[in-house]
Structure 1
Amino acid sequence: MRHGRAEPISKSDETRALTEDGREQVAAVCKERASELAQVKTIWASPFVRTRQTAKIVADIFDLPVEINEVLTGDTPAQAVLDALAEVDEKDFPVLLVSHQPLVGTLVNRLCGSAEELPMGTSTLACLSADVWAWDCAELEWLQHKP
């Protein structure tokens, strides 16, 4: 999931918070995909304020904790995320990753082998399935954009 719409200006990029509109859009996406999100067992979020806030909206609805994971910042090499996922116990899947562009778009598109065909705007949620988390090995189950 890409974080919701954030304020354009703050002291730093890391401290940009969600706007009220951003909060509402994240909640609306959660409502649209409630049955699917209810299956999530683990939520990871980047340490940036807007991703933590986005993850908290999901976590509060589904009564899950949020794990802050440095690997989900926008400038992390996508392979580092795959390496981190490889360390996750199978019982902790499905995992919801809450991150930023360009990382989230790169992950979705490279995992699905779709070049840049799958847009990941703010509050967009993608569901991917795979037997192995490697490039060109995942299938896009669905893509939910904000309403």
Structure 2
Amino acid sequence: MLLFVLRHGKAEPYSKSDETRELTDRGRMDVAAVCKERASELAQVRTIWASPFVRTRQTAKIVAEAFDLPVEFQEVLVGDTPVSELLDALAEVEEERFPLLLVSHQPLVGSLINGLCGSGNEYSMGTSSLACLSADVWARDCAELEWLQHKP
């Protein structure tokens, strides 16, 4: 199975709350560029999950519109969620819903990728970074990083 993990694009530094921070124009352009660069791979996605925060909703919308997919908002994708909770949620997903794209935040995206791959802190996830992982089961040390695309 394939799992795609996308960190939201660059967001404004301040807002009323962290949850309401919006993408900057640069953030929107970077997400669109990464999607264009990996369009053939992202065309495989069957399901998009996104954090309910504004910047991740906006990021997911860019991908969803490009590939004509709906977005499901998941509280488990908020950045400070323990990786174990996200792995439990992934274990409940039917196989036919994969490839699945997760749109989330740091530190969750970095912890998830490195935890699944057993790679310590080897892989960094800057804004608009997109990773592709493969595994038979979504558990610690059970995945392979297929590729990691950073913004252009």
Q: If the length of structure 2 is used for normalisation, what is the TM-score?
A: 0.96
Q: Once the 2 structures are TM-superposed, how far is the Cα of residue 31 of structure 1 from its aligned partner? A: 0.3
Of 83, 107, 112, the match for 1:107:
112
Counterpart residue number, 1:6: 11
Q: Which of 1 and 2 has higher RCO (CA within 8 Å, sep 6+)? A: 2
Q: Map of 1:35-74 to 2, 5 A cutoff? A: 35-74=40-79
Deviations 1:47-70 (CA, angstroms, capped at 9, x unpaired): 000000000000000000000000
Aligned residues, how many?
147
Partner of 1:130: 135
Q: What is the identity percentage for the equivalent residue pairs of Structure 1 and Structure 2?
A: 79
Cα deviation for residue 137 of structure 1 reads 0.5
**Matched residue SS, 1:5:** coil
For structure 2, list consecutive stretches of 5 or more residues without a partner in the other structure: 1-5
Report what 2:22 is aligned to: 17
TM superposition shift of 1:16? 0.1
Compute the RMSD of aligned alpha carbons.
Answer: 0.4
Letter of the structure 1 residue corresponding to residue 144 of structure 2: E
| Secondary structure of the structure 2 residue equivalent to 1:117 | coil
Q: Which amino acid aligns with 1:46?
A: S
Q: Which runs of 5+ in 1 are unaligned?
A: none
TM-score by length of 1: 0.99
Shift of 1:80: 0.6
Q: What SS does structure 1 have at the residue aligned with 2:48?
A: strand
Q: Quick one: which amino acid aligns to residue 125 of structure 1?
A: L
Q: Which has the higher strand share?
A: 2
